[in-house]
Chain A
Amino acid sequence: MSVARPLPHDAAPLHVSGKARYVDDQPMPADTLHLAFGLSTIAKGRITAMDLARVRAAPGVVAVLTADDLPFANDVSPSAHDEPLLSDGTVHYLGQALFLVAATSHLAARKAARLGDITYEEETPILTIDQAMEAGSRFEDGPVIWSKGDAPAAIAKAARTLSGVLEMGGQEHFYLEGQAALALPAENGDVTVISSTQHPTEIQHKVAEAIGKPMHAVRVESRRMGGGFGGKESQGNALAVSCAVVALATGRPCKMRYDRDDDMTITGKRHDARIDYTVGFDDDGRIQGIEFVQMIRCGWSMDLSLPVADRAMLHADNAYLLPNARIESHRLKTNTQSATAYRGFGGPQGMIGMERVMDHIAHALQMDPVEVRKRNYYAPADTAVPDRTTPYGQEVEDFILHEMTDALLETSDYSARKQAVAEWNAQNRFVKKGIAFAPVKFGISFTLTHLNQAGALVHVYQDGSVQLNHGGTEMGQGLNQKVAQVAASRFGIAMDHVRITATDTGKVPNTSATAASSGSDLNGMAVKVACDTIRDRMAGYLAETHQADPATVVFADDTVTVGAATYSFAEAAALCYHGRVPLSSTGFYKTPKIEWDRVKGQGRPFYYFAYGAAVTEVAVDVLTGENRILRTDILHDAGTSLNPALDIGQVEGAYVQGAGWLTTEELVWDARGALRTHAPSTYKIPACSDRPPVFNVALWDAPNREDTIYRSKAVGEPPFMLGISAFLALGDAVASCGTDYPSLDAPATAERIWHAVRRVADV
């Protein structure tokens, strides 16, 4: 069996030799045009004049387009048709595309794009959460409110109450490969687009709208991305559409890629947010009732903000039974980049609100924060309890955090280390340590139920080699390898017989984005169905020719055994070919059991939950706020892992990225709405030296109780939120400086830590 083995990435030999091709590495025809956007320099207003004469006259410029030059739809929104590719005369954020330049080189296009002479009638932009709340600037009529029980009454009756506020920043994806697309005009006005995208079908859809053709006129291919993290779910639309439109207008291939500064200035990021909370609890720390107000800054267009904000609400409970809860969500419209999907998709924002509350309760009661958490956990799976429902009405049937918590506390030596940290802090004035535990319960499935489907196309050739295609995209998560492992296992053949081709809308149609951690769950199952169809046909034919029962035909170890006869898989494929057995099949899968009414906030949006837990220890210099992670221990639930090496890589990478979000990664906009942190010089993502020097990661080895592909669990996003433990540990270190609760905001930069220390103590 090829599943459950720690195989490296499928493209590993290509990566180490520099031969793995990304969009910008594709050899291009000699007459290819290069595109660049002219960008707005104000955050809000109206364009009163746009003089592009100097742009048109610039060296190498072949075409300049404004909204008036677009032949069909001027829209690249994945949701509400509210995102013009090129400005319709109004400006909604600083960095918005106003016009499009096509030139003979990338540099020529970029230089020309700076030469536009734009006159604006400027208006006062709405930039912050406070400004948007005050102006009532939002995407729906009012806040979305979901409730369970009667939270205000429960809080009023509770023995103790507390309130607080947590602010958290957004996060730039910083995929190392920036956004890029290449369009090749084809006969009949058709177009082929090669795109760095997590969502080829969406690219196909938006390109078709923009060129005024049915989707069958557009073929989109995605070989691999140099990182996605959600940032290539919708943000690639503008480049692909631009390339396709200009390619058809000029008859020449077109390529577009954003330089890093443009990429960070133009594209959406993780939603920043503020969460207000009021909680009532008993003297033992058990929550009686809780109210959250989540204020989510969505930016200028809707993009994916509604489901992101929904998911923040859906994770407001994290791992805890809330007998009475009220969650109010404001989706705020601001004159900033349109915030978009980012690993966790709102889940991290919702979850950290709950973890803050746990910490705050523990501080108020002077209890161990782990104990408070355990008392509030959902009940273990398969125990009889009156209530195991989430605030949105889903029964938590698979809760395993009690066991995982006990195991991690033991392997991480939590109690002794907590004691040692206390002793250290008693003896040291300037370098304080902190330690914290955080659990994760993350819901798996797209909350938009219809997206939970996938297709695959598998061919067995007459020499026994297998080619497979599925709707998922590869961005480093190892999806292709996992899916190939499934195919190899179904046919009982070695991995080198299986080749996965680039994701292609011409092979598998109507795909969902590779998102919501669902890639291997959905596509693995679709591939399994396709492989089993072919295998059953082969077994049927071979059994018939050998007067055997098809059920007794065995595919294993590169051979097929039928009664007394044994063939190599290649021989069996050749026999079936000569026997006129169809050796190609599609496969289709849709997730069972899910149903969801997002307006009411009731149902079963998730097929299952993935769990994890982390303990992080940090040190803080209270004189400067400088800090570092000393040690991290993680236990993560990947079900029966399809590939433990890839899964551990996902867990480690997600943790580091999550800790980055909450520590060093700070986005700063000035009063004009200009993003000032638009390059790695000012936006600090974790480097090799920032990884915890002691980093113990283990997988919780137990099968998914739901019938997923080989009983595995999704792993892309859930461990991101383990990074919350680093944030809590910093808060713990700061708390040791005094008696007040530090109420640290995120990201906990050195500067914020320095201020927090001074709030709780006179250093």
Chain B
Amino acid sequence: MSLSISLSINGAARDIVLDDVRVTLLDLLRERLALPGTKKGCDRGQCGACTVLVNGQRVNSCLTLAATLDGATVTTIEGLAQGDRLHPVQQAFLEHDGFQCGYCTPGQIMSAVGLIAEGHAGDDADRIREGMSGNLCRCSAYRGITEAVQDATRRMTAQAAEDAA
């Protein structure tokens, strides 16, 4: 049984025939669409390495069935930068060295973008730590991660204020 879906991935409209209706968004991205930036850590929604944005909200792509995404907008780590200009969260992770081995990093960054958009944490370190606790980092680069999210939040808030003025 096959099923067709239409969705936007990193700004590009895609029509995709799913030859297996049970395929997850993660496997679709990695194995069908040549977007391996999103990582597979546990494949059961517990490590956060596969975090992407669906309609602006952070989700574990390993637990998201592609078949449910007809009409959705998906953003992965590959779609975050504007050309050569990094997203403020990417820039902050770079400047704060918010990683060691880098494997969890795409998920951390997408989760951080989602967290900042949710607006619950602000630049409060404790709330950021709680809000980011679904994204495991075995190297424990948590200081850099927390500082990067704080820094990016401040920059994006300032930018938004500037844009509004």
Contact = CB atoms under 8 A, between A and B. Distances in A.
- A complexed with B: yes
Q: A12, A178, A477 — which one has the most chain B CB atoms within 10 A of its CB?
A: A12
Contact of A476 (B86, B100, B126): B100
A459 to B, nearest CB: 26
B53 interface: no
B71 interface: no
Given A175-B138, A680-B46, A688-B137, A224 B145 contact: no
Interface in A5-56: 8-9, 11-22, 24-25, 27
Contacts of A550: none
- The contact size tier of chain B is 35 or more
A693 interface: yes
A177 interface: yes
Interface stretch (A151-159, A225-233, A700-708): A225-233
Contacts of A649: 97, 100, 139, 141, 143-144
A228 to B, nearest CB: 8
A177 B103 contact: yes
Given A8-B97, A227-B101, A679-B46, A689 B133 contact: yes
A27 B34 CA distance: 8
Contacts of B138: 173-176, 227, 229, 657, 685
A680 B40 contact: no
A680 B106 contact: no
Greatest chain A CB density within 10 A among B133, B138, B144 is at B138
Contacts of B39: 22, 176-177, 226
Contacts of A259: 43
Contacts of A228: 101
Interface string B2-37: 000000000000000000000000000010001011
A657 B140 contact: yes
B143 A652 contact: yes
Interface in B37-59: 37-44, 46-47, 49
Contacts of B145: 688
A226 B102 contact: yes
Nearest to A695: B143
A175 B49 CA distance: 12
Contacts of A476: 99-103, 139
Interface residues of A, number: 56
A217 B39 CA distance: 32
Nearest to A177: B103
A12 to B, nearest CB: 5
A15 B105 contact: yes
Interface string A153-181: 00000000000000000000111111000
Contact of A21 (B36, B104, B146): B36
Interface string A64-98: 00000000000000000000000000000000000
Contacts of B140: 652-657, 686, 691
Contacts of A25: 30, 36-37
B70 interface: no
A691 B133 CA distance: 10
A225 B138 CA distance: 12
A21 B80 CA distance: 18
B117 interface: no
A4 interface: no
A691 B41 contact: no
Given A174-B138, A687-B136, A224 B101 contact: yes
B97 A227 contact: no
Contact of A17 (B37, B49, B146): B37
B118 interface: no
B163 interface: no
Nearest to B92: A16
A677 B115 CA distance: 30
B129 A691 contact: yes
B47 A226 contact: no
Contacts of A21: 36
Nearest to A657: B140
B74 interface: no
Interface of A: 8-9, 11-22, 24-25, 27, 173-178, 224-229, 259-260, 475-478, 645, 649-650, 652-657, 679-681, 685-691, 693, 695
Interface of B: 30, 34, 36-44, 46-47, 49, 76-78, 80-81, 86, 90-91, 93-95, 97, 99-106, 109, 125-126, 128-130, 132-146
7 contacts: A8-B94, A12-B97, A14-B102, A177-B39, A259-B43, A680-B46, A691-B140
Smallest CB-CB A-B distances: 8 pairs = A18-B37, A476-B101, A226-B103, A18-B77, A476-B100, A15-B102, A656-B140, A25-B36
